[in-house]
Amino acid sequence: MKKEVVIGLEIHIQLMTKAKMFCHCSTDYIGKEPNTNTCPVCLGLPGSLPVLNKKVLEFAIRTAVALNCEINQVSKFHRKNYFYPDLPKAYQISQYDVPLGIKGYMEISLPESKEKHRIGITRVHTEEDAGKLVHKGDIASSSYSLVDYNRCGIPLAEIVTEPDFRSPEEARIFLVKLRSIVQHLGVCDGNMEEGSMRCDANVSLRDAKSSTLGTKVEIKNMNSFKAVKKALQFEVDRQKKLLAEGIEIIQETRHWDESKSVTISMRSKEEAHDYRYFPEPDLLPLKVDLKMADEIRRNLPELPEARRERFIKNYQIPEYDAEILTSSKALGDFYEKSTSLYSNSKVLSNWIMGELIRYLNENKIEIEDSPISPEKLVGMLKLIDEGIVSGKMAKGIFEKMFKTGKDASKIVKESGITQITDKNELFEVMDRVIKENPRSVEDFNEGKEKALHYLVGQVMRYTKGRAKPDFVFDTIKQRIKKI
């Protein structure tokens, strides 16, 4: 029988507050000496008491309302007990039966259908992060591990979706949009490679007409959008194969091994009762003033969907372009900055979506660190408009700009690669090409339009691409007729 894919996601985002969740330690811990960014509270020393950072609450509410959640006026903190060296208290302060936000949704557009697909958001809650284990050498043969508590107590929001995804690609599209939303909200930088946005997934299969869910497998350790899609596809295929052979699926947690492109069994999946949740006695129930929630809702910044619509309307670009340009906050900002400097917004989107994104991806550089700024891009486009360089030459200049960070005009000056503007010089080359290729001229005179393209190509070859092709095209035609 045909199987239906059922996927649900659990996403942790690191909230960009200045201080940790329950103490005054800084959240700026990356690159710091291990265990220097700690205090008695985040180390869980006896006698220390947690105090909730109000900014954490504000950021979590902002996330929840942007995902159309209802806010619980009173929610609770629970202790989630687990004994692992990265957690000095042996429990994590999290939320359990009464989370901050519930019953939300997010809509995604799938490329093959015009209709929007609604993904249910089960809950949004806050919790603290754990520390990090650093294994000596290779993890399998490591003789000992070191622990760094700098990350302990960093605030997280956990977003849990309903099992509403029917393919790995839908899950990927959702994640790209979610990242753009949290970036626009200013609550998380959304960097999956660095771990400030982490995604786990539950994957199961069921008979196409059945309403009961199959046994689910949890997948962890997917560190990029690409990895999410690959890992989920691998897991779907693995389960399909087992079921086809009549082998039962075991409920377990599997780890995505990026280098081998496989999921590997880690452990049988914990149930909630394994964590011995109980209400956190050191914190009062979390009361949310509904006025505060309303105010946050009213003051939400422009979100990617609205921004996309505005791009289509204001800059007259196709929906496809607007979708890509708003897929990250920084990319949208780059585009808008460019449009403030240059009026042809479609030319801008072509260059950004084409050359710029390609070079950034190839070199694994984020748009924030792009060696080509909006000013530099526009500087190059103006050289094309002024006829100093051709569009084709500009591609080479763009590559040099990307590698060196220099302005287009400086590159042009240094290399002397300008377009030939002296018409007489071009006439000479054209006449030479006409003389050398009597056969093509004859063909053209007999009505073979193709022959003309060949002649133009010859002129471009002699001038090393420095002639303006449309000028050559028009002119060479007239000069043939004169002969």
Dihedral in degrees, nearest 10, Cα atoms 265, 269, 274, 277: 120
Query: Is 40 or 354 the residue whose CB approaches Zn ion more closely?
Result: 40
Q: Please tell me the distance from the alpha carbon of residue 180 to that of residue 165, in angstroms, as a whole number.
A: 19
Written as one string, the DSSP assignment of 28-96 is --TTSPTT-S--TTTTT-TT------HHHHHHHHHHHHHTTPEEPSEE--EEEE---TT-TTSEEEE--
Closer of 88 and 120 to Zn ion (Cβ):
88
The pairing of strands 252-257 and 262-268 is: antiparallel
Binding interface with Zn ion (CB under 5 A): 23, 25, 39, 41-42
Nearer to Zn ion, 25 or 401 (CB): 25
- Least Å distance, CB 152 to Zn ion, is 7
Q: Which amino acid is at 362?
A: E
Q: Smallest distance from the beta carbon of 89 to Zn ion, in angstroms?
A: 12
Distance, in Å, from the CA atom of 174 to the CA atom of 98, rounded to the nearest integer, reads 25
Nearer to Zn ion among residue 41 and residue 93 (C-beta): 41
Q: Please state the three-class secondary structure of 350-386 as a single string.
A: HHHHHHHHHHHHHCCCCHHHCCCCHHHHHHHHHHHHC
CB of 31 to Zn ion, least distance (A): 18
Write down the residue that tokens 């786990």 correspond to.
200
Kindly tell me which of 151 and 179 has the beta carbon lying closer to Zn ion. Answer: 151
Tell me the DSSP string of 211-222: -S----EEEEEE
Q: How far is the CB of 21 from Zn ion (least distance, A)?
A: 9
- What distance in Å separates the CA atoms of residue 269 and residue 35, rounded to the nearest whole number? 31
Cα radius of gyration (the chain):
29
CB closer to Zn ion, 45 vs 134: 45
Q: Which two tokens stand for residue 343?
A: 């009026």
- To Zn ion, the closest distance from the beta carbon of 189 in angstroms equals 21
Supply the minimum distance, in Å, between the C-beta of residue 53 and Zn ion: 11
| CB of 56 vs Zn ion, minimal distance in Å | 13
Q: Which is nearer to Zn ion, 23 or 430 (CB)?
A: 23
Residue 381 to residue 373: CA distance in whole angstroms: 13
